[in-house]
Chains A and B, each alone.
Chain A
Amino acid sequence: AQKVTQAQTEISVVEKEDVTLDCVYETRDTTYYLFWYKQPPSGELVFLIRRNSFDEQNEISGRYSWNFQKSTSSFNFTITASQVVDSAVYFCALSEAEGYQKVTFGTGTKLQVIP
């Protein structure tokens, strides 16, 4: 069975601080995909990134960066120089790579960036 754990329920930072959101996953699959989604107060989930299990190269996109470590089953997300607009709930998710690729979401981390 797949499981995604986001131990941080809520995080508050002051604007311009860096913040890292943790994600730990469990799967018996050898190939799988990992995702991060952002859910702003408006409600819809916004896709941020997808990584496959064969690609452990870290990725940077603007102020966002992701650290995938297969050895520790973690896929952490760092926001550099946080802004108020980053305030949202962030979900880490996992899907199998074969067949249907059902997506399993974590419970989310609520990030509040204080001006």
Chain B
Amino acid sequence: EAGVVQSPRYKIIEKKQPVAFWCNPISGHNTLYWYRQNLGQGPELLIRYENEEAVDDSQLPKDRFSAERLKGVDSTLKIQPAELGDSAVYLCASSLWAGTPRGEQYFGPGTRLTVT
């Protein structure tokens, strides 16, 4: 069974440019998460989807970040415009649904973003 797929793996852009990350979760997983992981830190949740509904986006900087999961399967996270402080690894994870099993989220390899 294929795991969580993310693309691209690496992205280098200049500040003020837009960037988008794509995630395809494990087949059948209803819940999808986007995390940001700064260097030397643990992942921090940006947004969580239950099917196509964003049920927790309280940590998403909405002035420049947006996300969508139109058909309840794959998802795109966008930053526009990017700032130097956005340099991080963006991780996507999925689980069958948020309630069960608790916390068994399956993570993708991440997209390492460098903003210059």
Enumerate chain A interface residues (CB-CB to B < 8 A).
4, 9, 33, 35, 37, 42-47, 50, 52, 91, 93, 95, 97, 100-103, 105-108
Contacts and interface: CB of A to CB of B under 8 A. Distances in A.
Nearest to B41: A107
Contacts, number: 64
Counting chain B residues whose Cβ lies within 8 A of the other chain, the interface size class is 20 to 34
Interface in B24-39: none
Contacts of B48: 100
Contact of A95 (B43, B44, B103, B112): B103
Nearest to A108: B42
Interface of B: 3-4, 40-45, 48, 55-56, 89, 91, 93, 98-99, 101-110, 112
A105 B110 contact: no
